[in-house]
Amino acid sequence: MFHGKSQPEAVRLRLFCFHHAGAAASMFHSWPDQLPAGVEVIAVQLPGREYRFSEPLATNVRQLEKPIADALEPYLDRPYAFFGHSMGILVGFNVARTLRERGRRQPSMIIASGRSSPQFMWTDKGMETLPDEDFVTAVRDYNGTPEELLREEALRELWLPRLRADLTISATYEYFEKPPFTCPILVFHGDNDRLVSKEGLAGWQVHSSEPVNYVRFSGNHFFLLKSEQEVLAKLHIILKNHLIHLEKNNDNGKGFLGDPLERT
C-alpha cells in the first residue's frame, strides 16, 4: 500500500483509494498534499504492478477482497472512507462488505467514482476477450489511455495483460444482494461517460440507509484524470465537512476497536 505523509498521531480519517483498471497505486501520489490536514491517504496496490510486479495478476474480485481486508484491518483504529474509480470501487465495495461480515468498523463514507452500481453488468463485458489488436482499438475508443502505452511494443507487452486482467475483474463480477451500509455514499460521474447509465448511477441508492448524493464532472470515463484538480478541490471540501461531522459525533476511533494502535 502507498501511504500519504500524515503522522499517525495526527490522523483523523483514513482514505483508502482503489485504482481503476490498468492503473496502479501511484496514481494517487499527489492526493495527500491536496486534501485536508488529518486525512491520511492509503492507496491499495493490486498484484502484478509496481512493487508487486512479480505477483500474478488477479482476474476475479474474490481473489482480492479477503487479502485486502486482511491488509486493512490494522488501520481501522480511525474512522475511514473508501474511494474507488471504475473497477476500483467494485473491489472497494466487496472489501467493505468483507470487513462488515467480520464485525469490523464500517466506512464512514463511500465515494464511488465512474461506475454504475454493482448490481448492473459492466457495459463493455466481452471486450476483455478480444484479440490484442481489436482490444487495443477498443481501449483507444475510451480516450483515456496514453498513446505510448498502446503504440510502443515493449510498454504494450507489459501493460496489456494487466489491463485485460483488470477488465476481466469487471466482466466476471457477481453481485449478491446484502443489507445496505449505514454510511453516506457519494457518487462521482462524468457527464459524457458512456460506461455508466442513469439507471446504474441511481442504483447506488439501494446500498445505503443514509443519503446517496451525486457530483457531476465534465468529461468521459476518465474525468478523474483529465479534471483531477477539480475533483480534488471538490473532494477537499467534502472531506473537510466530513471531518467536522466526525468531530461533532465524537468519532475519533477510540472505544470501538480499542485505543488507536501504536505505529512506528
- Which residues are marked as active site? 86
Q: Which of 195, 229, 44, 65 is nearest to 125 (CA)?
A: 195
Tell me phi and psi for residue 57, to 5 degrees: -70, 145
Separation between Cα atoms, residue 87 and residue 171, nearest integer Å? 10
For 185, left (φ over 0), alpha (ψ -120 to 50), or beta? beta
3-class DSSP assignment, residue 92: helix
Cell, residue 235: 473532494
Separation between Cα atoms, residue 48 and residue 51, nearest integer Å? 8
Cα Rg of the chain, angstroms: 18
